[in-house]
Copies of this chain bind each other. A is one copy, B any other.
Amino acid sequence: MTADSAVETLSYPAPDVVRDLVERAIARGAMVTLFGPCTVEYEGRAASSLGPGDRHVTLKPDGAALVHTDEGQQPVNWQPPGCDHSVAVADGALVVRSERTTPEEELEITFETVAHAAAFDVSDPEELAVTGTEADLKERVLDAPDLVESGFTPLATERETPAGAVDVYGEDAAGRTVVVELKRRRVGPDAVGQLDRYVEALRRDLHADTEVRGILVAPSVTDRARQLLAEKGLEFVSLEPP
């Protein structure tokens, strides 16, 4: 992370020269990038084929692989962390392969030419600190339960039910059981379904005479979600992460 970070680069190198650079880089745990005209084949959970074009390829020391075009935030092809990267020269082309098992997946990138190759020694001790998440919204609710409803008392978080864990479990001023489902942003029908599953599971699980209320806490809901809430007899409280 200091100015002595080792960087090795090549411009329009011969295939065997790139191969050696990449092999050495992988061996020492460096990050590799390649750029140039290539084709990409993938087979695994699905299958894909990408004809010739210029792409930017990243091989990470944790085994992840990324193929980026000039468009989009997402890579056009990729491989998750934990893969084995290998590189070879075949018919004058550089072939990069990244494979894994469980599930069996393989990515193969064939460079007609490598326009640029680089190896970076990376040191990154820092963790990303994010705020505005659902966890922050939960803290806000636990710190001030009245934001949900006057008299609401949280009793547990992540309380287990046969349908999964409830975000916040508690009771209202009248002693009725309350299930709170938190969402950090505007929600659609899926979140209502989720809350409903928890409420139904608790109604089954608790004694038949126990009343169970379900409250969706989010900044806002879509029309369809609001209608679903009404149909299911569930409630909504508008609240956002701090």
Are A124 and B81 touching (Cβ within 8 A)?
A: no
A35→B71 CA distance, assembly (Å): 20
Chain A stretch 4-49: residues in CB contact (< 8 A) with chain B = 5, 7, 9, 11-12, 31, 33, 35-37, 45-49
Which residues of B sit under 8 angstroms from A62, Cβ to Cβ? Answer: 70-72
A224 at the interface (CB under 8 A from B): yes
Q: A3-B115, A7-B35 are in contact. List 14 more A-B contacts (CB 8 A).
A: A31-B56, A33-B56, A35-B118, A47-B132, A48-B129, A49-B128, A49-B129, A50-B129, A51-B126, A58-B68, A60-B71, A62-B70, A190-B190, A193-B196
Q: Would you call A56 and B58 a contact (CB within 8 A)?
A: yes
Residue of B whose beta carbon sits closest to that of A227: B162
A126 and B53 contact, Cβ closer than 8 Å, known pairs A11-B7, A33-B33, A120-B35: yes
Task: Report the minimum CB–CB distance from A198 to chain B (whole Å).
Answer: 10
Question: B70 to A80, Cβ gap below 8 A?
Answer: no
Neighbouring B residues of A129 by C-beta, 8 Å: 48-50
Contact with B along A120-134 (1 / 0, CB 8 A): 111111101111110
B128 touches A76 (CB 8 A): yes
B73 touches A81 (CB 8 A): yes
Does the CB pair B54–A64 fall under 8 Å? no
Could you say which interface size class chain A belongs to?
35 or more
Report yes or no: B194 in contact with A116, Cβ–Cβ below 8 A. Answer: no
- A-B pairs, top 6 by smallest CB distance, nearest first, are A53-B124, A46-B132, A193-B193, A51-B126, A70-B122, A48-B130
| B residues in contact with A85, CB < 8 Å | none
With the chains together, A129 CA to B48 CA distance in Å?
Answer: 5
Interface contact A11-B11, CB-CB below 8 Å: no
Question: For A69, what are the chain B residues with a Cβ–Cβ distance below 8 Å?
Answer: 122, 124
Given contacts A9-B11, A56-B120, A133-B46, contact A81 B72 (CB under 8 A): yes
Task: Please name 19 pairs of A and B residues whose Cβ atoms are closer than 8 Å in the assembled complex, sorted by A.
Answer: A2-B37, A3-B12, A7-B116, A35-B120, A46-B130, A46-B132, A46-B184, A49-B128, A49-B129, A51-B125, A51-B126, A53-B125, A54-B121, A56-B122, A62-B72, A69-B122, A76-B128, A116-B120, A190-B193
